[in-house]
Structure 1
Amino acid sequence: MATVSVIIPVYNEGEGIENLVYELNTYFRDETRFTTEIIFVNDGSTDDTLSKLKHAEHIYYTYKVISFSRNFGSHAALRAGILNAKGDYITFMYADLQDPLSLVSRLFDEIISKEIDIAWAFRKTTTAGTSERLFSAAYATLMRKYAVSNFPKKGFDIVMFSRKVKRCLDKNIEANSSVFIQILSLGFKQTGITYDKRIRLVGKSKWTLAKKVKLLIDSFVAFSFAPIRLVSFVGISFFVLGVLWSGYIIFRKIVFDDLASGWPALLSILMVGFGVTNISLGIIAEYLWRTLDASRKRPVFVIDEFIEGALTPVDSNNRVLLDAKL
């Protein structure tokens, strides 16, 4: 029987852990097509998330708890989970359960029936606010045009993939990058299903504006040459305009001699010139910094604690055997 590893990154989700574990036990108790491994990755939580994960009753699945030494970000958490996953297929879930657990079974069926390596769950509807939807739409449009042409219009949070894909990801654990776009760009056979995203019942989202902006920058710098090409285009454009403007000034001076010199025009030129220069240097600096960061080979994440638990024995009626809990 195949095994599916479900990676769940958690960060300050203490108030929702009890419900999360209850839902996991309830769903995977009745799942008979595959065995389940749940990998909780505690991304440096400062509340009682880790303690609650340790003392929760994980019954109908094997589990691992990976705890980071500090907060490294959700993508680092997903990469740590992938590295330590033992399943034949690997997928992601999130502690808020806005993405239904039934997606695990649906994605598994999709991969098995079509004999492919990657299956995506695309959002059909979402409960996000207007600003978040606008950001997602703009992000998807930019990524499709300048980085990954097959990036979905409505975005995604969930994917399932085979061990073949896992081996590629384990060989290239990238810092400051998007694991989703990395999977998209691998080129293996892919398919997708759609689903309706649910409202969050417990806690609040950790997906802040700062994290959205960082993801946008990471995605472009890691997967697109568009920023560098933009710098070149702007530089060439201003060079051509400068040459034409200089020719025009010389022509008016020689023929009409009617141009009055003044500091406002000079100041405008300097402001535009220095503005473009600084923007260009900033973009180039992003690439240089990430090259330096990669060359230092600092760890993408640091594991502080690793806990592994076996499947709890149950009888034929899915009742927990008492001796196993003593």
Structure 2
Amino acid sequence: MKKVSVIIPAFNEEENIDRLVEELNLYFKEEVRFSTEIIFVNDGSSDATMEKLKTARHTYYSYKIIGFSRNFGSHAALRAGILQAKGDYITFMYADLQDPLSLVSELFEEIESKRVDIAWAFRSKTSAGTTEKLFSSAYAALMRKYAIPNFPKKGFDIVMFSKKVKNCLDHNVENNSSIFIQILSLGFKQSGITYEKQERILGKSKWTISKKIKLLIDSFVAFSFAPIRLVSFIGIAFFVLGICWSAYIIYRKFMYDDLASGWPALLSILMVGFGVTNICLGIIAEYLWRTLDASRKRPVFVIDEIVEKAFELELEERLIISDK
């Protein structure tokens, strides 16, 4: 029987842990097509998330709880889970249960029937607000145009992949990067299904504006040369503009001599020029910083502790109790 590893990152999700474990037990009690390994990754939570995960009754699946020393971000949590995963196939789920657990079985069927290495779950409908939808649409459009041509128009949060893909990811643990785009860009055979993303019932989303902006920057700097190419285009444009403006000034001076000199025009030119220069330097600095960060070879995440228990042991305990 094949095994599926389900990685669930959690950051300050104490309100959702009881419901999450209950739903996991109910669902995987009935699933007999594959065995299940759940890998919870506590991403440096400051609440009782870790304690609740430890004391919860994990009954119908093997489980592993990975605790980070501090908050490293959801993508680092997913990478840590992939390194620890032992399943034939690996997928992601989230503690808020906005993505139905049935996706695990659907993706398993998709990857087995289509004989692909990667199966995506694309959102056909979401309960997100207008601002978030606009951000997602703009992000997808920019990624398709400047980075990954096969980036889906609809958003995605869930993917299942084979050991072949896991090995590639384990040998290329990237910092300041998007694991989803990394998987998408590997080039293995891929397929996909669609689903409707549900509303969050408990707790507050940790997907803040600052994290969205960081993802946007990370995605472009890590997977596209568009920002650095933009710097060149801006430089060329202003060079041509400067030549044209200089030619115009010289023409007016010799033909009409009617241009009055003054500091407002000079100040405007300086402000625009320095503004563009600083923007360009900022883009270049992003690349330089990531090069420096990679050369330091600092860990993408630091594991504080790991709690592990196999389903077979739990099953033996239940049999002993029932005999008594």
Partner of 1:64: 64
**Count of paired positions:** 323
- 5+ residue gaps, structure 2, are none
Instruction: Let me know the Cα RMSD of the aligned residues.
Output: 1.5
CA distance in 2, matches of 1:49, 1:241: 58
Counterpart CA distance in 2 for 1:95 and 1:320 is: 26
Cα shift readout 1:168-211 (whole Å, capped 9, x = no counterpart): 00000000000000000000000100001111111111111110
Give the direction of change, closer, same or farther, for the CA distance of 1:201–1:117 in structure 2 (3 Å limit): same
1:230 maps to which residue? 230
Deviation at 1:320, TM superposition (A): 3.6
How far has the Cα of 1:154 moved from its partner?
Answer: 1.3
Give the Å deviation of 1:250: 1.0
- Per the TM alignment, residue 322 of structure 1 is displaced from its structure 2 partner at its CA by 4.6
In structure 2, the CA distance between the partners of 1:313 and 1:259, relative to structure 1 (3 Å rule), is: closer
Match of 2:321 among 313, 320, 323: 323
> How does 1:76-155 map onto structure 2 within 5 Å?
76-155=76-155
Structure 1 match to 2:184: 184
Give unmatched runs, 5+ long, in structure 1.
none
Partner residue in 2 for 1:49: 49
CA distance in structure 2 between the aligned counterparts of 1:202 and 1:180, rounded to whole angstroms? 26
- Cα distance in structure 2, aligned partners of 1:136 and 1:324: 51
Q: Which amino acid aligns with 2:59?
A: I
Q: Which amino acid aligns with 1:263?
A: W
Q: 1:324 to 1:189 in 2, by over 3 A?
A: farther
State the 1:253 CA deviation.
Answer: 1.1
CA distance in 2: counterparts of 1:214 and 1:324, whole angstroms: 52
Q: Using a 3 Å threshold, how does the CA distance of structure 1 residues 174 and 310 change in structure 2: closer, same or farther?
A: same
- Which residue in the other structure is 1:198 paired with? 198
Give the equivalent residue in structure 1 for 2:292. Answer: 292
| Matched-pair identity in % | 76
- 1:321 counterpart SS class: helix
Q: TM-score, normalised by structure 1?
A: 0.97
Letter in 2 for 1:323: I
Give every structure 1 segment of 4 or more consecutive aligned residues whose post-TM-superposition deviation is greater than 3 Å. Answer: 312-315, 322-326
Aligned partners of 1:103 and 1:324: how far apart in 2? 33
Tell me the TM-score normalized by structure 2. Answer: 0.97
Out of 108-117 and 249-258, give the one that drifted further. 249-258
Question: What is the identity, as a one-letter code, of the residue corresponding to 1:34?
Answer: F
